[in-house]
Every structure is written in structure tokens, then in C-alpha cells.
């Protein structure tokens, strides 16, 4: 039986340490970068607003921690040129990953091709080195059928990861949506990752999503290249568990 300490140690290296507050400044982001590595190891990535990418790149220059930033965030606009411009801004500043929000309202209103085009154009803007994580905003998509269909659309359009949520809506990540998304990845047979984000605060929360990945994708599947937990407060709980 997997213990809480084992879960915490495993989750630490899969964490996208996140700072997306409206009032974030250089000091906040610098502190985030300082917490991204320590005697316990390093998180997988930090995730910030685009304006902080170059700062993170500087602060993390001597590490292998990836720098991610959000685009089309958090509202999921259907403005394709804006999303593409933000994606290019992130990559040009030295970012490794772009977490772009699927235009979920457009998708729900039948403009699925427009949503796919936004993902495809952003993936193209990432070039050969950048990774694109597509945020489905599963709490707004509603039923499992919509989550599955949106996941397939994102995968078809070139997503490197599919991600549950922005964390800015009333309903964020849920195990039910995660299971649907993981099943979509498995059925597609693609080398694509999954990221759970929004409301993940405890070791128990982390264990639920890791358990789903193990069950659906296999116990050897989850790694920083394929599985992430997006959170801001989870790190404290993980460290507290490993210190006990």
C-alpha cells in the first residue's frame, strides 16, 4: 500500500509551482523560483504570467526546471491572433512551455473548428522546442462527453499536454474529468501528457490524480514529461509530509 510519504516524494518532482495572482510582482516570482528547488530535489516547472518569463529564466538558469507561462488566460478568448502573439512572447522570452486556454465558450457554442485552429496555431508558434499545454476548463465544459470531445480536439490539434483547469472558475479539477482526459490520451495512442490544476492542495489530492494515472495509463507512465500537478499551495503540504 502506498503511503502518504511515498505519494509526497513522488509528487514533488511532478509539480508545476504556480504563481498567477493578479498582483504578482518581481518579488513574488523571485520567491517562487527560490522555492522551486532544495535538498529534496526540484519541481518540474514554474508557471507564471508571460511578463515574468525572463525573470524566471534568469533565476532558474543553473537548474533543469522548466519555465511555463499562460496564454489566452484565464477567460479563453476566441481571439486567435492574440493567443498566438502571447505564445510567441513566451517563447521569445525564454519560456519552455505555454499553458493556453481553449476557447471553451466558442467550443460550447458550436465553433469547434475555431477552437481547434487556435490550438493548432499556438502549437505552430511554439516551434520544435516549445511545449503546448491546452487548458480545457473542464468545469465549464460540463458533462463527460464534452470533456472527452474537447480533449480529442485538443489532441488532434497538436497539444503536448491537456490540462484540466485555470483554477480561476468555481469548479476546477475533478477526478471524474481527469479520468476522461487520461482515457482520451490512452485511446489516441499519442505521447501526450496530462496536467491536473485547480484546487489541488493536499497530499491526498495529489494521490488521487497519481492513482488515476497509474490505473489508466500504467504505473510507469507518470513522469515530468507526461504528468504534472499545477498548484501554488501544494508544495508546503508535500514538504511537511516528507519531513515527518
Q: Which helix (H) or strand (E) holds 161?
A: strand 161-163
Asked if 163 is an active-site residue, the reply is yes
Asked if 168 is an active-site residue, the reply is no
CA 219-225-227 angle, to 5 degrees, is 55
Q: Which of 138, 108, 132, 137 is nearest to 118 (CA)?
A: 132
- Alpha carbons 108 and 96: distance in angstroms, whole number: 30
* Interstrand relation of 37-38 and 41-42 (parallel, antiparallel or unpaired): antiparallel
Instruction: Please answer whether residues 49 and 70 qualify as being in contact, where contact means their C-beta atoms are separated by less than 8 angstroms.
Output: yes
Given 99, 153, 160, 205, the catalytic residue: 99
Burial class, 77, CB count within 10 angstroms (exposed 0-12 / middle 13-18 / buried 19+): middle
Given 88, 123, 133, 163, the catalytic residue: 163
Q: Does the CA dihedral 84-86-89-94 come out positive or negative?
A: negative
Given 16, 133, 195, 205, the catalytic residue: 195
Asked if 195 is an active-site residue, the reply is yes
- Alpha carbons 147 and 227: distance in angstroms, whole number: 18
SS (H, E, C) 201-216: CCHHHHHHHHHHHHHH
How is residue 22 written as a grid cell? Answer: 493578479
- Indicate which residues carry an active-site annotation: 99, 163, 195
Amino acid at each position: 500500500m502506498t503511503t502518504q510519504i511515498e505519494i509526497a516524494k513522488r509528487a514533488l518532482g511532478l509539480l508545476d509551482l504556480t504563481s498567477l495572482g493578479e498582483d504578482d510582482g518581481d518579488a513574488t516570482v523571485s520567491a517562487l523560483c527560490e522555492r522551486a528547488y532544495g535538498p529534496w530535489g526540484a519541481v518540474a516547472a514554474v508557471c507564471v504570467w508571460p511578463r515574468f518569463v525572463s525573470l524566471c529564466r534568469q533565476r532558474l538558469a543553473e537548474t533543469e526546471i522548466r519555465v511555463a507561462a499562460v496564454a489566452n488566460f484565464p477567460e479563453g478568448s476566441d481571439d486567435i491572433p492574440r493567443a498566438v502573439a502571447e505564445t510567441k512572447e513566451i517563447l521569445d522570452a525564454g519560456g519552455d512551455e505555454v499553458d493556453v486556454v481553449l476557447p471553451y465558450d466558442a467550443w460550447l457554442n458550436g465553433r469547434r473548428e475555431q477552437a481547434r485552429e487556435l490550438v493548432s496555431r499556438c502549437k505552430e508558434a511554439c516551434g520544435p522546442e516549445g511545449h503546448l499545454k491546452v487548458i480545457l476548463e473542464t468545469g465549464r465544459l460540463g458533462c463527460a462527453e464534452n470533456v472527452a470531445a474537447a480533449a480529442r480536439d485538443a489532441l488532434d490539434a497538436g497539444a503536448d499536454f491537456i490540462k484540466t483547469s485555470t483554477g480561476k472558475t468555481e469548479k476546477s479539477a475533478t477526478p471524474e474529468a481527469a479520468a476522461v482526459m487520461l482515457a482520451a490520451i490512452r485511446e489516441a495512442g499519442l505521447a501526450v501528457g496530462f496536467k491536473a490544476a485547480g484546487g489541488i492542495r493536499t497530499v491526498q489530492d495529489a494521490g488521487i490524480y497519481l492513482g488515476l494515472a497509474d490505473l489508466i495509463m500504467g504505473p510507469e507512465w507518470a513522469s515530468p514529461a507526461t504528468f504534472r500537478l499545477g498548484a501554488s499551495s501544494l508544495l508546503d503540504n508535500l514538504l511537511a509530509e516528507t519531513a515527518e
